[in-house]
Amino acid sequence: MTTKLAMPLKQRKQGMLENVMRQFDNAADIINLNGNIRKILEVTNNEFVVHFPVRMDNGEVTIFTGYRVQHNNALGPYKGGLRYHPTVDIDAARALAMWMTWKTSLAGLPYGGAKGGIQLDPSKYSKAELERITRRFTYALGDNIGPELDIPAPDVNTNPQTMAWILDTYMSTKSPAERSTNMHVVTGKPIGAGGSEGRDRATGYGVFLTIKFWANSNNISLKGKKFIVQGFGNVGYWAAHFMEKEGALLTGVQDAFGTIYNENGISVENLLEYTKENNGSIQNFKGSIGIENSEFFGLDCDICIPAALGNQITAENASKIRAYLIAEGANGPTDVEAEKILLEKGIDIIPDILCNSGGVIGSYFEWLQNRNGEIWQLEEVLTKLEKKMKESFTKVMEVSKEKKVDMRTAAFIIAIQRLEEAYVQRGIFP
């Protein structure tokens, strides 16, 4: 029997943790955040790094490294996704966990923030291997996750099937009498395994809703507006789907395989069907031309939706952007230096903690249904989601105008103030 270590395929772009800290510091300074509470929010509560062996299909054993970072639980159980990607490391997990704390607080949910995942490229493994990897990771985390403690969800390269494996593994470690009461240990599950109607499209629908709210507040119609999407996974597809239904025109798409463009429009549904038959890739889609990846952000469009990974819009490419609105479907796609350039150009940015919060709101609805033994219909879920996101958007716009700050700073101010209030009221034990 041979054993090998799963090594990262590429290095993570630096600066994600630095970005979130600079965003936090900026908002904390404006509201003159209590110094003691600031110290608490600047650090994570718990960090877990687990190394675990998994037998591959060829009989070899590979050692994988998994992470779970729990940032803060002042408002409720930790909540956040698990991603499978070569860039997953402790710093990335810290940054993403912090963003989750601000996101759940901004949305007014009874959750804190967490994030994690496994450092690997899932395309290199079979479905059977991914199942064993997921189950061993779940077992390694043990009681550090739980329905009232820390509730994972899908993220980059994970999906409802991944959540079903985690659920089954976690439940298998409990006594028979306890198993049915642990359904809400993860969200984003398949419908048949306790998932919620609408959870699949919640993030992308939320991205679309914030764009629509923004357009309405600026007396702009989305009909005929050109938009580009980076990432054509769950978030990118659903955001594009609803944008197209509203009459907007998808002209450019970028994924891990390449970039395509058609100034006259790309059919969202046809592209989805094509990717299903083309190993998930958008490349060589009929009715589009392939262009260099570096040209993507410079494409002529009205709205840009980065819905892939963090740190995609940087000081190097920010000046090329021609869109007048950026809607952050991904977590942390715009670094701090790039944001300065964009704001100076008069480009509006709907920040990630608002723009893509539909996912965690949808997760909250699933968690509630499991907890209470209820089943909601799709229409009910989407109606509740729209109402919740409208409340958050309206609040952000109000604070933005009141404080004369950009939308991201306004969102951070709201999120941090809610946490500050919780600490002031509860005090610190002992």
pLDDT at 329: 97
Please tell me the number of Cα atoms within 13 Å of 111 on its side-chain side.
32
Topology alike, domains 43-193 and 202-355: yes
User: Which tens digit of pLDDT belongs to each residue from 285-342?
Assistant: 998 999 999 999 999 999 999 999 999 999 999 999 999 999 999 999 999 999 999 9
Task: Determine which helix (DSSP H) or strand (DSSP E) holds 343, and give its type and residue range.
Answer: helix 336-344
Q: Which helix (H) or strand (E) holds 211?
A: helix 202-217
* In contact, 392 and 353? CB cutoff 8 Å: no
Q: What distance in Å separates the CA atoms of residue 380 and residue 394, rounded to the nearest whole number?
A: 21
pLDDT band at 40 (very low <50, low <70, confident <90, very high): very high
Instruction: Give the number of other CB atoms < 10 A from CB of residue 59.
Output: 8
Q: Is the pLDDT of residue 1 over 70?
A: no
What pLDDT was estimated at residue 180?
84
What's the pLDDT score for residue 159?
Answer: 95
Read off the pLDDT of residues 133-181 as tens digits, 9 standing for 90 and up: 999 999 999 999 999 999 999 999 999 999 999 999 999 999 999 988 8
* pLDDT value at 266 more than 70: yes
- The rounded radius of gyration (Å) of the Cα atoms in the chain is 21
> What is the H or E stretch that residue 69 is in?
strand 61-72
pLDDT tens, residue by residue, 399-409: 999 999 999 99
43-193 CATH choice from 3.50.50.60, 2.60.200.20, 3.90.1150.10, 3.40.50.10860: 3.40.50.10860
Interval 11-38: pLDDT, tens: 444 478 999 999 999 999 999 999 999 9
Confidence at 76, pLDDT banded by 50, 70, 90? very high
Q: Which helix (H) or strand (E) holds 234?
A: helix 234-245
In this model, does residue 2 exceed pLDDT 90? no
Q: Looking at the annotation, which residues are catalytic?
A: 115
Residue 4 has pLDDT above 70, yes or no: no
User: Quick one: pLDDT at residue 171?
Assistant: 95
Could you read off the pLDDT of 51-60 as tens digits, one per residue?
999 999 999 9
Domain ranges of the chain: 43-193, 202-355
Record: fold of 202-355: Rossmann fold (3.40.50)
In degrees, rounded to 5, the angle at the alpha carbon of residue 190 between the alpha carbons of residues 189 and 195 is 60
Structure tokens at 63: 């050692």
Exposure of 250 in the CB half-sphere (CA atoms within 13 A): 29
pLDDT band at 3 (very low <50, low <70, confident <90, very high): low
Residue 173 near residue 185, CB atoms below 8 Å? no
Q: Give the pLDDT of residue 430.
A: 86
pTM for the whole thing? 0.93
